[in-house]
């Protein structure tokens, strides 16, 4: 397991208290899980993602990420509709470990209310939370 100062927490994303990262890309938002989450879970073996077009409320589970020894639900950081899903993860779940903020992304969402994103954490605040 990584120490706090070893964690990778890039500046171009915000974080949820459920250990997801979100990257605003125009009027959609790309979402994945943070380095802390993937490190805690260990080698990811399977990712279960929703269908494009489904909508979820904030804090609803939109999917499941599985490692050998544990399984974790992923919760929506805000209300929105799924517009894209990373199908590559079906055969290559290890991308979540190796390219956590890049090719390891999970979903792209059209948020119902973009202002909800403002209440998510900056990298500094997230690091505080992890202490």
Partner 1 sequence: MHEKVGTSGLVFNEPLIWEKSGAGRCGSSLFSPDVPGASIDESLMGDLAGFPEVSEVDVVRHFTRLSQWNYGVDSGMYPLGSCTMKYNPKTNERQAALPGFADIHPMLPERCAQGMLRLMFDLQRFLAEITGMDAVSLQPSAGAQGELTGIMLIGAYHRKRGDARTRIIVPDTAHGTNPASVALCGLQPLPVKTGPDGVLLPETVDEVMGPDVAGIMVTNPNTLGLFEENIVDIAQIVHDGGGLVYCDGANLNAVMGIVRMGDIGVDVMHVNLHKTFSSPHGGGGPGSGPVCVKKRLEPFLPVPRIVERDGGLGFSSDAPDSIGKVHAFYGNVGVMVRAYSYIMSMGAAGLRQASRLAVLNANYLKERLKDVFDLPYDRTCMHECVFSDARQHEQKVTTLDIAKRLIDYGFHPPTVYFPLIVKGAIMVEPTETESKETLDAFVETCRTIAREAEENPDLLHDAPVNSKVRRLDETAAARNLDLMG
Partner 2 sequence: MKRMMRYLPHTPDDIAAMLATIGVRELDELFAAVPEASRLDSALDLPGPLDEQSLNRHMDALSGRNAAGPSFASYLGAGCYEHFIPHAVTYLMGRSEFVTAYTPYQPELSQGTLQGIYEYQTLACRLLGMEVSNGSLYDGASAFAEALLMAIRITKRRRVAISSALHPYYRDVAATYLGQAGFDITLLSYEASGGTDLSALGSIDDLAAVAVQSPNFFGCIEDLAAVSEAVHGQGALSITAFSEPLAYGLYKNPGSLGADIVCGEGRSFGLPQSFGGSSLGMFTARREHVRQMPGRIVGKTTDRDGRPGFVITLATREQHIRRERATSNICTNQSLCALTAALYLSALGKNGLRDLAKTNYDRAEYLKSRFAEEGIHVRFSRPTFNEFVAEFPDGGSSACDALCARGTAPGLPLGAFYPELADCRLFCVTETKTRDDIDTLVREVASCMKK
Please give the residue ranges that form the binding site for partner 1 (CB under 8 A).
42-43, 45-46, 66-68, 93-94
| Alpha-carbon span 46 to 65, nearest angstrom | 6
Q: Which of 87/94 has CB closer to partner 1?
A: 94
In the bound complex, what is the minimum distance in angstroms from residue 130's beta carbon to partner 2? 24
71 binding partner (options partner 1, partner 2, none; Cβ < 5 to 8 Å by kind): partner 2
Q: Which of 46/119 has CB closer to partner 1?
A: 46
Q: How many CA atoms lie within 13 A of 48 on its CB side?
A: 12
Instruction: Give the interface with partner 2 as residue ranges (CB under 8 A).
Output: 46, 48, 66-71
Q: How many CA atoms lie within 13 A of 70 on its CB side?
A: 9
Which CB contacts under 8 angstroms, 24+ apart, belong to 72-75?
A: 72/37, 72/41, 74/18, 74/20, 74/33, 74/106, 75/16, 75/18, 75/20
70 binding partner (options partner 1, partner 2, none; Cβ < 5 to 8 Å by kind): partner 2
In the bound complex, what is the minimum distance in angstroms from residue 75's beta carbon to partner 2? 15
């Amino acid at each position: 397991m990584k120490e706090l100062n070893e964690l990778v927490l890039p500046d171009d994303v915000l974080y949820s208290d459920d250990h997801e990262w979100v990257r605003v890309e125009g009027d959609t938002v790309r979402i994945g899980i943070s380095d802390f989450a993937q490190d805690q879970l260990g080698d990811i073996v399977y990712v279960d993602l929703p269908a494009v077009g489904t909508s979820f409320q904030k804090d609803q589970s939109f999917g499941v990420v599985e490692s050998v020894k544990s399984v974790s639900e992923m919760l929506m950081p805000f209300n929105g509709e799924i517009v894209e899903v990373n199908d590559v993860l079906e055969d290559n779940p290890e991308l979540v470990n190796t390219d956590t903020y890049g090719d390891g992304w999970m979903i792209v969402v059209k948020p119902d209310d973009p202002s909800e994103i403002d209440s998510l954490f900056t990298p500094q605040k997230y690091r505080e939370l992890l202490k």
